[in-house]
Copies of this chain bind each other. A is one copy, B any other.
């Protein structure tokens, strides 16, 4: 990817109930993440055994996927915050390597 003039980042994809999107956004904002993309029309099934005896998602619709891209060195508070959030809210997150052409757009801003 370096041959394409791109800069390595991490992409955090989070699937949560629509009601919990504000929690995710606040967590991202607090961690200084400068932007995100949200997808609606998301449903999920299972993904992880049970949560307090229930399936976390049971072909439930009304979910949202929030996608944020940030430098890996800024990932720790985001991932720690999401992990804590999943202690009492259903959801999943996937973290992947991705590459961008304008890294300054994804660079941590001072928390507001």
A residues apposed to B, CB below 8 Å: 1, 3-6, 9-11, 15, 25, 34-49, 56-57, 63, 65, 69, 72, 75-76, 79, 82-83, 86, 92-102, 104-106, 109
The answer for the CA separation of A57 and B35 in the assembled complex, in Å, is 9
Q: Is B43 a contact of A97 with CB atoms below 8 Å?
A: no
Rounded to whole angstroms, the CA-CA distance of A98 and B26 in the bound complex is 24
Task: Report whether B47 and A34 are in contact in the complex, using a CB–CB cutoff of 8 Å.
Answer: yes
Q: Which residues of B contact A46 (CB under 8 A)?
A: 34-36
From B40, B43, B63, B100, contact of A95 by CB (8 A): B100
- The minimal Cβ–Cβ distance linking A57 to chain B, given in whole angstroms, is 7
Q: If the complex has contacts A92-B69, A93-B100, A98-B94, are A48 and B63 also in contact, measured as CB distance less than 8 A?
A: no
